[in-house]
Amino acid sequence: MLHIAARLPTSTCRLLTSRTSVLVVEVRGRKSRTDPKAKSKAGRVKVPPPVDPVEMVVLKERFAQYDMIMRALRFKFKEEVLQHKYEQEVGSQAEERAKQEADRHRVLMAWNDAENLRLLKLREIRVLKEREEAEKEEAALAVLREKKMESFVKEKEQEILQLEEESKTFITMENLDQRIEEALDNPKNYNFAIDKGGRVVKQTMLQ
């Protein structure tokens, strides 16, 4: 009945309907679900509008930021509402609990300070021991270096003494004639052959 009345003029609707009923205004440009598709739009293919990739990336970032900000605001407002409601419901218990938490925090901070002081003393003792051990090691290394230097000096002194003893047999301008006469009086033959063991196996006679 309403569907038919919607297609009739307004004056006709007013005549057909009683004064107690609701007036139905004519609606144009509407189609029912069972009406066929218009002939002018029979071959129409809906193509989505082009999307700019850069703009899409920017919009996604902005939407993500907006969503994050809105979630943070909602969480903050919800937290404030719950806190206000909790304070209203609990009242003095909340103040007492806050006082207890403050006292507990103060006790924990005092314990933390005492623990830090204890650890500081232990650390100072450890550092002092390490310093003493390092000084002992340095002293031991110094003694070892000194001993090595003394042994090196003694070795060089022995070499100097040995060179001084050997220098007595050196040929100098003073004993040159004497050494020549000794060499002539005591000739040595170095023309000989040795085997693998270093023994002389053949030697020629001096002429």
Which two three-digit tokens encode residue 134?
């390092």
Distance in angstroms (rounded) separating the CA atoms of residues 151 and 157: 10
Residue 4 has pLDDT above 60, yes or no: no
SS3 61: helix
For residue 155, name the pLDDT band (cuts at 50, 70, 90). Answer: very high
Claim: this prediction has a pTM higher than 0.95: no
pLDDT tens digits, residue range 52-90?
Answer: 999 999 999 999 999 999 999 999 999 999 988 877 777
Would you list the DSSP string of 78-97? Answer: HHHHHHHHHHHHHTHHHHHH
What would you report as the CA-atom Rg of the chain, rounded to the nearest whole angstrom? 59
Which two three-digit tokens encode residue 135?
């000084």
Measure the CA angle with vertex 170, ends 166 and 191; round to 5°: 100
pLDDT at 68: 97
Which stretch of 10-24, 31-45, 145-159 has the lowest confidence by average pLDDT? Answer: 10-24
Share of the chain above pLDDT 90, in %: 43
For residue 45, name the pLDDT band (cuts at 50, 70, 90). Answer: confident
**Paired residues of 200 in beta bridges:** 194
pLDDT tens digits, residue range 15-38?
Answer: 455 555 555 555 567 788 898 888
Over residues 178-184, the mean pLDDT reads: 84
Contact predicate 26/13, CB 8 Å: yes
pLDDT at 22: 55
Contact predicate 4/17, CB 8 Å: no
SS3 163: helix
pLDDT tens digits, residue range 86-119?
Answer: 777 776 676 777 888 999 999 999 999 999 999 9
For residue 13, name the pLDDT band (cuts at 50, 70, 90). Answer: very low
Burial class (CB in 10 A: 0-12, 13-18, 19+), 154: exposed
Q: What is the number of alpha carbons within 13 Å of residue 25 lying toward its C-beta?
A: 2
pLDDT at 20: 52
Distance in angstroms (rounded) separating the CA atoms of residues 140 and 173: 52
For residue 151, name the pLDDT band (cuts at 50, 70, 90). Answer: very high
Burial class (CB in 10 A: 0-12, 13-18, 19+), 122: exposed
Over residues 159-182, the mean pLDDT reads: 85
Residue 120 has pLDDT above 60, yes or no: yes
Distance in angstroms (rounded) separating the CA atoms of residues 21 and 5: 13
